[in-house]
Structure 1
């Protein structure tokens, strides 16, 4: 069934259906889908939210086919919230020049998309670029449940796509629960390991107005979180994980064929940094490839440029797909690794964004002998 909330009559007038205006809309002679212009009928009483449905089994690419009750409820709630504040809002606004239909269109300048289902991230990026081509502001709100355990949040690969970056909020994203009618801003995200993050949270009720929200956000203080790490213990856990669960995987085969033993890799290989979430490639895998193809070929006293290092770094990582982060955001991970090597005395900084090897990165058994 194809569900929509907005329709137009023969005169081009638009109607957004609610529980309050169903009887008034029933007085219209004919109603049509704004996107495909096919006839629609009113459905009220069969589900919790009144809506329109196409008269026939019409293929309408812009209607809410397959949308969950959660998605439909969220759109209805947000429309009501804006209306109560006297803010101009259109539900399911269709833009013919880009053949896109936005969930919510606010003040004739801002598109709000509420996303519950996992779809290809490339599609979210295409939608965003289409709206930006019309010089519209675009906001993505995540609707999927966020897993929380022991003071941490766990994000799936799809949920990572909603992360944005801003100087005061740091890495952050917005979430909305239509069941609770609560927005949550997860901000100051700090990567721990795997899919887990530490994050600050601020909740916003639909009983508050937009100005209340702005005042609360204005009180947030910029900060950089610090996560205490035991690098040695982390390495042991990584080695145990690969030995038990990935011993027949491509990475372990690569090590074996190259004559390396996982536990003996240089201690600088397998370091989880705060920016690790910006790439899909596990730390121990890209750091091994970087060492094997680059650092292992350098001797004490050799120099290299930051630009050349990034050339090598790009070859060994696959960056995460996100909607808003800049395409080169993942290079911050490469820079963080260089900073780590400087901190541990492997390389030294010299002028003009260059580095000098102060000591070689050697396998642990070689260092012992």
Structure 2
């Protein structure tokens, strides 16, 4: 299942779950709005369960043709933390923007000092081929990729020495 933190409203406006919402606000929003995937434009559902953070997901038995992998709670939380930190630094950033010309949705797109950066918070293993494809696609569009490896991938040998498993 593909999990989204942003969606489109019926009127074409974006809605982001990065904003601080109360449970009641989200319940009311779910009752009165329809939500759509920014990439494929298919309807998505606002999920408000207790096992994961609030998120949007494609309806059962529908899949987004522009997605590669599902995202763990660790990934979603890390991405939100990073996005919030960028905002507190007054750095212009967009959460999960879909880039139709390369059919990619970076975790965060950052505009800083007249440059664009695609930040990917990577918690799962991906193939070298997919890693290269994403990097090449970003670079062709003049976007600099930045990959952040989730800390659970690191082994601490000493306080100053980290290693990859």
Alignment of 1:238-317 (within 5 A): none
Residue deviations 1:88-132 (CA, integer Å, cap 9, x gap): 221111111111111111128211001111121121111011011
Give the one of 80, 83, 90 matched to 1:79: 83
Structure 1's 65 and 110: CA in aligned 2 closer, same or farther, altered over 3 A?
same
1:61 Cα deviation (Å)? 4.0
1:19 Cα deviation (Å)? 6.7
Structure 1's 136 and 37: CA in aligned 2 closer, same or farther, altered over 3 A?
same
Alignment of 1:58-69 (within 5 A): 58-63=62-67, 65-69=69-73
8 Å CA contact retained: 1:3, 1:63: no
1:65 Cα deviation (Å)? 4.4
Matches of 2:2 and 2:148 in 1, distance apart? 22
Could you say which structure has the higher helix fraction?
A: 1
Aligned to 1:9: 9
Residue ranges of structure 2 left out of the alignment (5+ in a row) = none
8 Å CA contact retained: 2:18, 2:84: no
Matches of 1:64 and 1:15 in 2, distance apart? 22
Structure 1's 10 and 46: CA in aligned 2 closer, same or farther, altered over 3 A?
same
Aligned to 1:182: none
Aligned to 1:154: 163
8 Å CA contact retained: 1:4, 1:53: yes
Are 1:122 and 2:129 matched, yes or no? Answer: yes
What is the aligned-residue RMSD (CA, Å)?
2.3
List structure 1 segments (4+ residues) > 4 angstroms apart after TM superposition: none
- TM-score, normalised to structure 1, is 0.39
Residue ranges of structure 1 left out of the alignment (5+ in a row) = 157-369
Matches of 2:19 and 2:86 in 1, distance apart? 17
Matches of 1:140 and 1:111 in 2, distance apart? 8
Aligned to 1:92: 96
Q: How many residues were matched structurally?
A: 156
Residue deviations 1:262-312 (CA, integer Å, cap 9, x gap): xxxxxxxxxxxxxxxxxxxxxxxxxxxxxxxxxxxxxxxxxxxxxxxxxxx
Could you say which structure has the higher strand fraction?
A: 2
Structure 1's 147 and 123: CA in aligned 2 closer, same or farther, altered over 3 A?
same
Are 1:145 and 2:153 matched, yes or no? Answer: yes
Residue deviations 1:167-225 (CA, integer Å, cap 9, x gap): xxxxxxxxxxxxxxxxxxxxxxxxxxxxxxxxxxxxxxxxxxxxxxxxxxxxxxxxxxx
1:33 Cα deviation (Å)? 0.4
**Highest Rg: 1 or 2?**
1
Aligned to 1:102: 106
8 Å CA contact retained: 2:35, 2:43: yes
Residue deviations 1:309-334 (CA, integer Å, cap 9, x gap): xxxxxxxxxxxxxxxxxxxxxxxxxx
Q: Secondary structure at the match of 1:139?
A: strand
Structure 1's 10 and 20: CA in aligned 2 closer, same or farther, altered over 3 A?
same
